[in-house]
Structure 1
Amino acid sequence: MGKPLITNVYSKEESNVIAFGVILGRRAAESVNAIREASWFIEVFDIASKRNLLERARVYDIGDIKLTSYDDLENVTKTTSSILSEGKLPLMLGGGHLATYHVLKAMPKDVILLVFDAHCDLRESYMDEKIVELDYINESAMVDKRLNDATWLRWASEEKMFKKAAVIGVRSGDEEQLAYAKKSGILLITSEKLLSRNGLNAAARILSNLTRGRKVYLSLDMDVFDPSIAPAVDHPEPLGISFREFTKLIKSIKGKIIGCDVVCLRKIPDNEVTEFLAARAILEILSHAT
């Protein structure tokens, strides 16, 4: 790890947010550190709201969880449990979205799960070259077609890791995934709906009602944003949301955010816009979580 996320001002004891990386994916280490590096160049004062976005967040970065096998993902759950037991908020940087499944294992089962993602991630099983890249550990660790980036939310649902869930900004999925979402009560808020007239306000009301008085876990897959503003992602999809829409939806959350992650950034040469967007999104999340 080079620079820690955002700041080195606070000790672990003084902090109320503990950040850590999960090195899952062929270019995860480079991508996670790109977010950390960018975070040092983001202005924490928000002109629109005239406030310091880190006014209440005291962040300490404990570094990365490095994996040699898929069994090592248990360390993600253990680390998250330890952070929660200290009364602090875990902030995970990825890496593949599969890591979120292992963070959720440590969360209370009555948590409301909000996933900002272009994809449903509700397949029963799946494998292709992209999944191998996303969940790569090393040449000897074989990706499981039953539990990976394309299926993690399905299995989290099957294992009742949350009370209710919504996938926001979704625009890629097949008939079987849509049918499963309907059957299991997972709310899909499409980017088309968000971008329609009055769609953003309607979605904000839904999230307000869904989260009011509840514990919330928030997962941000960077591919939820339009590729024009977030090109450096593992699986870009057209017609994504803007940062304006993201911030309005974050502000609509009425529950208590008890954990969060930012995943699926894939660093590309000579373009830093996506990691700067990721770092700015983290500030927005933390301003409403602490």
Structure 2
Amino acid sequence: MLRAVAREHGPVALVHFDAHLDTWDTYFNAPVTHGTIFRRAFEEGLLVEDHSIHLGIRGPIYDQIDMEQDRSFGFRTIRANDLDVIGIDGAVDAVKQRVGDVPVYVSVDIDVLDPAFAPGTGTPEAGGFSSRELLRLLRQLSGLNLVGADVVEVSPAYDHAEVTSVAAATVAFDLVTMMVTGGRTAREHAPETDSAVR
């Protein structure tokens, strides 16, 4: 998908929601996997250097070089627990400053959510975003030059009561809406309501 987007728009800024960096060189000795994809994208020239950002990272780091190499590919990282300090608004500001006005691709690995909100994934990690936090983050990213997006790693076999599928479908709906409305979500089109507790 990044190759197709880059053919149309040139290299993009990547806004990557995930528990894991996905910039390893190999994963179980395989060079092309879900854990290496953004390293390969950087090597292919699909990403605008120093404009990409990870959000929600908290998975295992096997060596300090993982972080060092990730930074050398031009990524900035906002860890899941950083949200406790900078808040949603701080994360949104960081994303907007990072990507600027270049074309943006948003990738949402559903394991960015805590397993309480997305148990149906192959690599769950405790301590993730809530569904509300993720949706609020996405919905405040209005105005980006969003040219492509994906939602990945939903595994219905591990899901129960379609909890993960509901979260992923809502994220996908918001991303598609942002792409066709110039960066605004459907919620921004909804009439204003009195938010006072009744």
- The normalised TM-score by structure 2 is 0.80
Q: Is the 8 A contact 1:113 1:218 kept in 2?
A: yes
Aligned to 1:125: 26
The alpha-carbon distance between structure 1 residues 152 and 270, as it changes in their structure 2 partners (threshold 3 A), is: closer
Residue 107 (1) aligns with residue 8 (2): no
What letter corresponds to residue 247 of structure 1 in structure 2?
L
Residue 273 (1) aligns with residue 163 (2): yes
What letter corresponds to residue 229 of structure 1 in structure 2?
F
1:114-161 Cα shifts (integer Å, max 9, x gaps): 11110011111121xxxxxxxxxxxxxxxx701111111111112221
Aligned to 1:162: 47
Identity %: 28
Query: Whole-Å Cα distance in 1 between the matches of residues 163 and 105 of structure 2?
Result: 26
* Deviation at residue 245 of structure 1 after TM alignment: 1.7
Q: Is the 8 A contact 1:207 1:252 kept in 2?
A: no
Gaps of 5+ in 1: 1-102, 128-143
Select the residue among 210, 227, 240 that pairs with 2:98: 210
Q: Is the 8 A contact 2:154 2:165 kept in 1?
A: yes
1:144-184 Cα shifts (integer Å, max 9, x gaps): 70111111111111222110321111112332220111222
Select the residue among 45, 64, 82 that pairs with 1:193: 82
Which structure has the larger Rg over C-alpha atoms?
1
Where 1:203 maps in the other structure, the secondary structure is helix
The alpha-carbon distance between structure 1 residues 197 and 188, as it changes in their structure 2 partners (threshold 3 A), is: closer
Q: Is the 8 A contact 2:22 2:39 kept in 1?
A: yes
Larger helix percent: 2
Query: Whole-Å Cα distance in 1 between the matches of residues 139 and 46 of structure 2?
Result: 24
Query: Whole-Å Cα distance in 2 between the matches of residues 244 and 182 of structure 1?
Result: 29
Runs of 4+ residues over 3 Å off in structure 1: none
Q: Is the 8 A contact 2:12 2:102 kept in 1?
A: yes
1:86-121 Cα shifts (integer Å, max 9, x gaps): xxxxxxxxxxxxxxxxx1112223311111110011
Aligned to 1:283: 173
What letter corresponds to residue 146 of structure 1 in structure 2?
P
1:260-282 Cα shifts (integer Å, max 9, x gaps): 11110111364311101111111
* Deviation at residue 237 of structure 1 after TM alignment: 0.2
Q: Is the 8 A contact 2:52 2:99 kept in 1?
A: no
* Deviation at residue 234 of structure 1 after TM alignment: 1.0
Gaps of 5+ in 2: 181-198
Query: Whole-Å Cα distance in 2 between the matches of residues 198 and 123 of structure 1?
Result: 27
Query: Whole-Å Cα distance in 1 between the matches of residues 52 and 160 of structure 2?
Result: 36
Query: Whole-Å Cα distance in 1 between the matches of residues 137 and 160 of structure 2?
Result: 31
Map 1:196-275 → 2, pairs under 5 A: 196-253=84-141, 254-268=143-157, 270-275=160-165
Larger strand percent: 1
Where 2:45 maps in the other structure, the secondary structure is coil
Query: Whole-Å Cα distance in 2 between the matches of residues 205 and 222 of structure 1?
Result: 22
Where 1:217 maps in the other structure, the secondary structure is strand
What letter corresponds to residue 232 of structure 1 in structure 2?
G
State the number of aligned residues.
171
Query: Whole-Å Cα distance in 1 between the matches of residues 101 and 24 of structure 2?
Result: 31
- The normalised TM-score by structure 1 is 0.56
Where 1:107 maps in the other structure, the secondary structure is helix
What letter corresponds to residue 105 of structure 1 in structure 2?
R
1:226-262 Cα shifts (integer Å, max 9, x gaps): 1001000010000000122212321333322111111
